[in-house]
Structure 1
Amino acid sequence: MINGSKRISAPIRWAMVGGGRDSQIGYIHRSAALRDQSFVLVAGAFDIDPQRGRDFGVQLGVAPERCYADYRSLFEAEARRPDGIQAVSVATPNGTHFAITKAALEAGLHVVCEKPLCFTVQEAETLRELALARHKVVGVTYGYAGHQLIEQAREMIARGELGEIRMVHMQFAHGFHSQAVENQNAATQWRVDPRLAGPSYVLGDVGTHPLYLSEVMLPDLKIKRLMCVRQSFVKSRAPLEDNAYTLMEYEGGAMGHVWSSAVNAGSMHGQKIRVIGSRASLEWWDERPNQLSFEVQGKPAQILERGMGYLHASALLDDRIGAGHPEGLFEAWSNLYYRFAMAMEATDRNDAERLASLRYPDIDAGVEGVRWVERCVQSADDGGVWVDY
């Protein structure tokens, strides 16, 4: 169980690009990073408006002279300081991720980036090569993977408790954009603008989340080919989709399905993953993250609860409070951020053994998310045909 004690020798000096006062995601980045003595926020370029960003940074406790107008001046000025930043989180619209992450790596910084990492596999491979060359960590914020019962599911599958894996059903299908809410909500407008959001909307925005959960639970299951169709039910969003169905065939014959949607009217979140084997099935739903359904054919269904002693040891490591008390998304993100910090420190110390023991959404996870979106868009735009992965 996590008790707040230090996991690394000293907090990592950290900055943010984006994540300003009106950001939908900035606060959870800061809350997660600062929670376990792993990071200290010392600088930032928090807003596209420099004065607004400076005012907000000061409210966060950042010195005024370290609240910068943009990411370029941030990286350049901090590089000249003896106490300059060691890492940066990128919490900006999708279209800026590649340029900012690339510049950060070139400046010798570790990076935590919102997904998608970039728009194309070619760009993603460029970032991976740069991260390897500069010996820096790139983490991607697939925050739901920080929930402990994802580890429980991984262990149960690895031990053969489900039998041979046959199907993986995934969805992230909420209803909050079932109408053209972007007409009144500036924070949503960029998500449906191809110049800023990239080649997809819901495939990249929500579909990659359960996809990454499947990669954690089923690390040996590799996609062979996929087929995708996508729709723009709110017509003004075309060519970007607000609903998509992706069918996947895995090497070995298992099948997978992802429903990505922002127009599932009435649904609060609708993110679920169900893994179906020859003997039993598991299901996890992010609206009830402290429970994991385990259904063995011919036996009563079971609900496994977070924090209980009957769980595997790896599912108990990241508990922050005893069983019965609910833990949520802020705790899950915090679990990822302390792993990011440990990976950064291990990388800086060339501690390969420590680094190999850590599992977190890294540059490879970012590349695969971009690859999946790219292949889905290719399939859909070619008429919903099978494409090799």
Structure 2
Amino acid sequence: MMTNDRQRPIRWGMVGGGRGSQIGYIHRSAAHRDDVFALAAGAFDIDPERGRAFGLDLGLDEARSYRDYAAMFATEAGRADGIEAVSIATPNNTHFAICKAALEHDLHVICEKPLCFTTAEAEELKAVSKARGRIVGVTYGYAGHQMIEQARAMVRNGDVGEIRIVNLQFAHGFHSAAVEEQNPATRWRVDPKFAGPSYVLGDVGTHPLYIAKVILPHLKIRRLLCTRQSFVKSRAPLEDNAVTLMEYDNGAIATIWSSAVNAGSMHGQKIRIVGSKASIEWWDERPNQLSYEIQGEPARILERGMDYLYPEARIDDRIGGGHPEGLFEAWANLYRRFGFAINRERGLGPAGIEDLVFPDVDAGLEGVRWVENCVRSADAGGVWLDYR
């Protein structure tokens, strides 16, 4: 039996992510992987009875399977064993209100992206989290793959040289037709009332944007140009394809292709960093490998779990080289970092995590800011705009 706060899991709740939710299942699987979190309560569904039944199926006490998030936050706050953190896995338009309410009840928050719809809202959440001393994590789940940390270390240690070109894409083909006509899970994503000011820019484009920030933390966007299209016309004014050009403050350039209409593509998230010495490339369909291409030498493939990787990458190793890891491990790595960060705020974190890298409230804010700037550029006719 756990004997003290340092050893016991963080008491954790969920809003959304109920029966049939793929993302809810991923959250729970990742959170429980390392026993850092223990599910204690939930408000899983907009239908209270359906949500209550699902909570019982998960083994929760019926009294802690709530009709809505407001009831859960209020009741749990009065319990000696109340939840300490909450994950938000609901449609985009609800994130801001739920996140703010959670912070105001002194809960740490792990939120699906986008964190909210506007930079002003994101700044408000940042201010509340700072005032309350609470962590806000954003589930850019792909950033938990081990080889992202390897790429970050390679750039920092000069293996790639001066960064010149950054090519990013997340371009799948699953919505190349109007699938939302038959699929409610997709329908809200193309409705501005629920999805906000963008579809693919916010839904997929912010993922490689954040990974690039992890690998290249020293680069700042100076200006950008975005053009967006609605190839499935019924999705207008939301885009299902967009191309963004960016200039960094060191003179490097970047492109991000965000798309749901790349017919035939399974996932299509790729990150290529081109430097003066070499290039590195990561593809999320082959996440256990990182391509390392030195000019004038044969290309080499670095494999996860191997001793030749930098220590920062090996920290995330779970099962040794040769065994493929996937999305659940990547998400579990993020949840472990969220847990370390929460425990650090509680004065319980292990030593040596002062430089812990995880998608925090600033990462959520930056994703919202980037989408705003892209929409602003695209709606002005695809023009260069100073990044703000």
- Residue 71 (structure 1) aligns with: 69
Residue 372 of structure 1 pairs with residue 366 of structure 2: no
Residue 203 of structure 1 pairs with residue 218 of structure 2: no
CA contact (8 A) 1:75 1:107 kept: yes
Secondary structure in 2 matching 1:76: helix
**Letter matched to residue 297 of structure 1:** Q
**Structure 1 residues 351, 14: CA separation in 2 closer, same or farther (over 3 Å shift)?**
closer
- Residue 191 (structure 1) aligns with: 189
CA contact (8 A) 1:145 1:332 kept: yes
Equivalences for 1:112-261 in 2 at 5 Å? 112-261=110-259
Q: Distance in 1 between matches of 2:100 and 2:300?
A: 47
Q: Distance in 2 between matches of 1:353 and 1:303?
A: 33
Q: With structure 2 as the length reference, what TM-score do the two structures score?
A: 0.97
**Letter matched to residue 83 of structure 1:** D
CA contact (8 A) 1:242 1:263 kept: yes
- Residue 49 (structure 2) aligns with: 51
CA contact (8 A) 2:340 2:350 kept: no
Q: Distance in 2 between matches of 1:107 and 1:238?
A: 38
List alignment gaps of at least 5 residues for structure 2.
Answer: none
CA contact (8 A) 1:7 1:342 kept: no
**Cα deviation, residue 194, structure 1:** 0.2
CA contact (8 A) 1:143 1:332 kept: yes
- Residue 320 (structure 2) aligns with: 322
Q: Distance in 1 between matches of 2:98 and 2:138?
A: 14
Q: Distance in 1 between matches of 2:304 and 2:270?
A: 17
| 1:73-92 deviation per Cα after TM superposition (whole angstroms, max 9, x unaligned) | 01001111111100000000
- Residue 31 (structure 1) aligns with: 29
CA contact (8 A) 2:190 2:235 kept: yes
Secondary structure in 2 matching 1:25: helix
| 1:250-280 deviation per Cα after TM superposition (whole angstroms, max 9, x unaligned) | 0010000000000000000000000000111
- Residue 335 (structure 2) aligns with: 337
**Cα deviation, residue 357, structure 1:** 2.6
Q: With structure 1 as the length reference, what TM-score do the two structures score?
A: 0.97
Secondary structure in 1 matching 2:292: strand
**Cα deviation, residue 9, structure 1:** 2.4
**Letter matched to residue 320 of structure 1:** R
**Letter matched to residue 227 of structure 1:** L
CA contact (8 A) 1:7 1:38 kept: no
| 1:175-219 deviation per Cα after TM superposition (whole angstroms, max 9, x unaligned) | 000000011111111100000000000000000000000000000
Equivalences for 1:259-278 in 2 at 5 Å? 259-278=257-276
Q: Distance in 1 between matches of 2:98 and 2:307?
A: 44
CA contact (8 A) 2:166 2:255 kept: yes
Secondary structure in 1 matching 2:264: coil
**Letter matched to residue 168 of structure 1:** V
Q: Distance in 1 between matches of 2:54 and 2:78?
A: 24
Secondary structure in 2 matching 1:293: strand
Aligned residue-pair number: 384
**Letter matched to residue 58 of structure 1:** L
**Structure 1 residues 353, 16: CA separation in 2 closer, same or farther (over 3 Å shift)?**
same
Q: Distance in 2 between matches of 1:10 and 1:318?
A: 21
- Residue 348 (structure 1) aligns with: 346
Secondary structure in 1 matching 2:71: helix
- Runs of 4+ deviating beyond 6 Å: 350-353
**Cα deviation, residue 59, structure 1:** 0.5
- Residue 359 (structure 1) aligns with: 357
- Residue 3 (structure 1) aligns with: none
- Residue 95 (structure 2) aligns with: 97
Of stretches 312-321 and 354-363 in structure 1, the one that deviates more from structure 2 is 354-363
List alignment gaps of at least 5 residues for structure 1.
Answer: 1-5
**Cα deviation, residue 320, structure 1:** 1.0
Q: Distance in 1 between matches of 2:292 and 2:285?
A: 17
Secondary structure in 1 matching 2:255: strand
Secondary structure in 1 matching 2:177: coil
CA contact (8 A) 1:8 1:38 kept: no
CA contact (8 A) 1:178 1:265 kept: yes
Secondary structure in 2 matching 1:152: helix
| 1:46-91 deviation per Cα after TM superposition (whole angstroms, max 9, x unaligned) | 0000000000111011111111111100100111111110000000
CA contact (8 A) 1:228 1:376 kept: yes
**Cα deviation, residue 93, structure 1:** 0.4
CA contact (8 A) 1:347 1:355 kept: no
**Cα deviation, residue 362, structure 1:** 0.4
Q: Distance in 1 between matches of 2:22 and 2:370?
A: 25
